[in-house]
Amino acid sequence: MTGYNFAYLDEQTKRMIRRALLKAVAIPGHQVPFGSREMPLPYGWGTGGIQVTAAVLGPNDTLKVIDQGADDTTNAVSIRRFFARTAGVATTTRTAEATIIQTRHRIPEQKLHENQIIVYQVPQPEPLSRLESSRIETTRMHGLAEYGLMHVKLYEDITRFGHVSLSYDYPVMVNDRYLMAPSPIPAFDNPKMDMMPALQLFGAGREKRIYAIPPYTKVVSLDFDDHPFRTTRAPHACGLCGATDSYLDEVVTDDRGGRLFVCSDTDHCETHRDVGHVGSEGVAA
Amino acid sequence: MAYVAVKGGERAIDNAHAWLAEDRRGNPDVPDLGTDQIREQLGRSVDRVMAEGSLYDPDLAALAIKQAQGDLIEAAFLLRAYRTTLPRFAASMPVETDQMQVRRRISAVFKDMPGGQLLGPTYDYTHRLLDFTIAAGTPPPKPAEMPAEPVAIPHVHGILDHEGLIERDTPAGGEPFDLTREPLAFPAGRDLRLQALARGDEGFLLAMGYSTQRGWGGTHPFVGEIRVGEASVFLTPPELGFEIDIGDITLTECQMVNQFAGSRTVRPQFTRGYGLVFGHGERKAMAMALVDRAMRAQELGETVAAPAQNVEFVVSHCDNIEATGFVEHLKLPHYVDFQSELETIRRMRADAIGDILQEAAQ
Amino acid sequence: MSLDLPGFSDAVLDAQSCFRAVLSAMSCPGTIQAAGVGLTPPAPLAPAMAAVLLTLTDVDTSLHLAKEAEPARDWLAFHAGTPFAASAAEADFCVAFALPDLAPLKTGSDDAPEAGTTVILDVAALGIGSAWRISGPGLAAPATLRVTGLPHDFAAIWAANHALYPRGVDLILCVGETLAALPRSLTVEEI
């Protein structure tokens, strides 16, 4: 695109973000403040992820952008177009073919590999924000690794409801040191973060924070010995591909309680159908 | 019938943009609005967009207002996104507002003073009656001419300073913080706070300033002075080594004179709150001055209890581009998270009914 | 005269590819990455070291040069535009030709450990030489790091740095057109 630099950001801004990224990788789970820029997309719509992707992306990359697990959701389309326009990079919907995957709210079902980078869009990087509103205070808590507040909150949940009531953005401990917000992915995806072979980068534009998890890093969802962490998914098979291990979207099909459950990860579903799997509502490929 | 996954996000976006463009234009039988008309006839909108967009360019602000269909926050966002790509050439010298070519200047603390009270173009004493001659396009009557020779009008706080009654400006130390380049850090210095307020949302500052008047962090303010006019901007290019005038900008400045601080050993002085905004924006400049003063509570040894006195609260929430983005992002799809909430609440309800039945059985 | 020598032939794409090399190196400690291929920096800067400096430093950072690197000062000032720090203790980046004393360097604070210095060290060889066992984030299993040019008591030196975690300094090792990185999160042991 004429008049703008490769991948939109100017080089000085990219250097600033790159320096923050390297420190983030060296201190897994620690939120590094950065001079987040005003992007031509609204705050809260992926400006942090976009800035991270723009600082990392090169002409040899193949980019995949998903929102809610799907490549075709409008905001994913909009962000993918932004990079196709400003960087001219190849894009794909195939998880296996992508070198960089920018995501909002999901981790792909297919296991990521060592030569991939996943960039998460993060609305609220501070895992303690609902318990302590002041960032001055939460910064101090991270400095001292003082996370009692979060354990108390989870335990109160257990006493009240019988188990932890958090179902997404479920807090994790990274490398036994930092409490970290995994971004609003369903807790179902949390175990994928542990010892993931791909590099995980997190960008929060409005809150001006970058953090990272290097490959093969220990990521533990907070729990208690007598109440171990467990994930939930809708207890159904995908109506299109029949998968029983994927995270499902619930589609309302009529006004009489009709429901259809389909894979949230659209590429996973298509790949599954391409090799011949058919769900109860699907048609053979 | 087999279910087919929803597709077509790309086409939907294209169609939405085309529809938006048509909607923006409105009835094509009505003449298209020129950005020069917006610049000349919607000046207060242009000024607000320049202030909150942090970019002094009336023509671009007018374009942004047209493009945003008059949605001023959206227009400020367009300016911000443009501004972020511009190279930084140099930092200007501090603007000397006492050298301003003033067209409006009032003080509430003295009946008269050097330079006098100058009402200028104000809505203050208009009766808020719809004027149908404006709808009819009747040319306005010619106003009285102002004296042509530029005169520097001294600041009112300078008069108080003669007696040492008011705190002085502290000399600026080095280059000020720039929150568009560096992340916010607390405790936030006054330079950062004032920058955040100058870019901040007028409505937010108005509400915060108002709250201080109703007892939520009150500071007994008096308007020392409000002035509106044109000030020259100077900078010193390193290759030249001397100041050059790069042009004039319209500014509104408000100096509040607030309750005094001091003790039996430190002689009491009035304190100050400061507001400065691009263009003609008195409401914003006054609110800014109130909030600036409220945020100095800790520095002046006052109790920090009210929202307007909480620096982290005000500075983190006054930016309407950040606020609008995050509030409006709730309309993006969240169905994956909602699904996880559904599963959790269903499981909890099932557990609860199990417990209830068990208790009933006992 | 070092100023005659060019910087990156493509300032945008060369910096991007060098950054990815450093990112990979920092993400997978001890792995050897190619960087600065084709770059002709003034002596004594190796292409990889020069590329890292052009990629990461600018007017917003401060750089300290070991005295061996003095002949490259003008070239770095021109192509990176970075201010030079008076001492290594004040610098964001330190260029060294022998492992410097890490103790005086910036290690950040508990609240802001990211302020720790990055040391860019010229070594004689990567992949051959003395061996250490390394483990930590980025490594699926403990690996062997081989370097010629680190002091014999490096494990003890690094242990002192790692003990400060999350504070500490990070290390980038450069030789020729290759580099490797040791983030502060890494554990280094004698074999």
Please give the residue of chain A at the shortest CA–CA distance from B1.
A281
Give the separation between CA C27 and CA C183, rounded to whole angstroms.
Answer: 8
Q: What is the largest CA-CA distance in chain B?
A: 96
pLDDT per residue as tens digits for the range B314-345: 999 999 999 999 999 999 999 999 999 998 88
Mention every residue, 6+ apart, whose C-beta is less than 8 A from residue B120: B102, B103, B104, B105, B228
User: Is residue C30 a part of any domain in this protein?
Assistant: yes
Q: What is the CATH number of the domain that holds C82?
A: 3.40.50.11310
Tell me what pLDDT residue B285 has: 98
Average pLDDT, chain A: 94
Does A206 contact chain B (CB < 8 Å)?
yes
Is residue C41 situated within a structural domain? yes
In a domain, C159, yes or no: yes
Q: Residue C51 sits in which domain range?
A: 11-184
How large is the average pLDDT for residues C59-84? Answer: 94
Determine the pLDDT at residue A284. Answer: 63
Tell me which H or E stretch contains A204.
strand A199-204
Does some domain include residue C5? no
pLDDT exceeding 70 applies to what percent of chain B? Answer: 96
The secondary structure element, H or E, covering residue C19 is: helix C11-27
C176 belongs to a structural domain? yes
Q: What pLDDT is attached to residue B149?
A: 65
Most confident of B82-86, B104-108, B150-154: B104-108
Q: In this structure, which amino acid lies at residue A48?
A: G
Inform me whether the pLDDT recorded for C39 exceeds 60. yes
pTM of the predicted model, to two decimals? 0.92
Which of A67, A106, A136 shows the shortest C-beta gap to B186? Answer: A136
Tell which of A8, A21, A22 to mutate to test the C interface (max C CBs under 10 Å): A22
Nearest chain C Cα distance for residue A98, angstroms: 16
Residue A144's pLDDT is what? 96
- pLDDT grade, residue A67 (50/70/90)? very high
Round to whole Å and give the CA distance between B323 and B59. Answer: 26
Q: Do B3 and A240 touch (CB under 8 A)?
A: yes
Of B180, B182, B342, the CB nearest to A250: B342
Measured CA to CA, the distance from residue B99 to residue B248 in angstroms comes to 12
Structural domain count of chain C: 1
ipTM: 0.97
Helix (H, G, I), strand (E, B) or coil at B153: coil
CB–CB of B316/B197 below 8 Å? Answer: no
Residue C19 sits at the chain A interface (C-beta within 8 Å): yes
The rounded distance, in Å, linking the Cα atoms of A257 and A259 is 6
Q: What is the pLDDT of residue B148?
A: 60
CB contact under 8 A, A18 and C111: no
The predicted-structure confidence for B250-287, as pLDDT tens digits, reads as follows 999 999 999 877 777 778 889 999 999 999 999 999 99
pLDDT of amino acid B1: 41
Contact yes or no for A202/A28 (Cβ under 8 A): no
pLDDT band at C57; cut points 50, 70, 90: very high
Q: Work out whether strand A209-213 and strand A199-204 pair parallel, antiparallel, or are unpaired.
A: antiparallel
Percent of chain A, pLDDT > 70? 98
Which chains touch C (3+ CB pairs under 8 A)? A
Q: Is there a contact between A215 and C28 if contact means CB atoms under 8 Å apart?
A: yes
Would the CB atoms of B312 and A253 count as touching at under 8 Å?
A: no
**Does B242 contact chain A (CB < 8 Å)?**
no
Give partners of A (≥3 CB pairs < 8 A).
B, C
Say which range, A93-97, A133-137, B33-37, has the weakest mean pLDDT. Answer: A133-137
Summarize chain B as % helix, strand, coil (round to 5).
45, 15, 45
Domain-embedded: residue C191: no
- Residue A182: pLDDT band (50, 70, 90) is very high
The predicted pLDDT at position B260 comes to: 79
Contacts of A76 in chain B (CB under 8 A): 9
Residues in chain C: 191
The reported pLDDT for the residue numbered A244 is: 94
Q: Is A79 on the interface with C (CB under 8 A)?
A: no
pLDDT in tens, B287-322: 999 999 999 999 998 999 999 999 999 999 999 999
> Omega of the bond prior to C183 within 30 degrees of 0, cis?
no
Domain membership flag for residue C189: no
Contact A211, A180 (CB under 8 A): yes
Report the greatest alpha carbon distance in chain C.
47
Residue A26 has its nearest CB partner, among C57, C110, C184, at C184
Give A 87-106 residues with CB within 8 A of chain B: 104-106
Q: What pLDDT score does B2 carry?
A: 47
**Nearest CA to CA, how far is A99 from chain B (Å)?**
22
Q: Is residue B88's pLDDT more than 90?
A: no
A17 pLDDT more than 70: yes
Contacting residues of A for C183, CB less than 8 Å apart: 25-27, 214
- The mean pLDDT value of chain B amounts to 91
In angstroms, the CA B107 to CA B159 distance is: 12
Which residues in chain B have Cβ-Cβ distances shorter than 8 Å to A184? 334, 337
Task: Report, as an integer, the average pLDDT of B149-176.
Answer: 82
Hey, is A172 helix, strand or coil?
Answer: strand
* Alpha carbon distance B188, B311 (integer Å): 7
Least confident of A126-130, A237-241, A262-266, B156-160: B156-160
Instruction: Mutation target for A interface from C19, C58, C106: give the one with most A CBs within 10 A.
Output: C19
User: What's the pLDDT tens digit per position in B190-215?
Assistant: 999 999 999 999 999 999 999 999 99
* A150-177 mean pLDDT: 92
Shortest alpha-carbon distance between residue B91 and chain A (Å):
17
Q: For chain B, list the contacting chains (3+ Cβ pairs, <8 Å).
A: A
Chain B residue with the nearest C-alpha to that of A74: B9
Average pLDDT for chain C = 96
| pLDDT for the residue numbered B237 | 82
Distance CA A25, CA A30 (A): 9
The Cα of A140 is separated from the nearest Cα of chain C by a number of Å equal to 6
Mean pLDDT of A167-178: 97
Q: Is B255 exposed, middle or buried (0-12, 13-18, 19+ CB in 10 A)?
A: buried
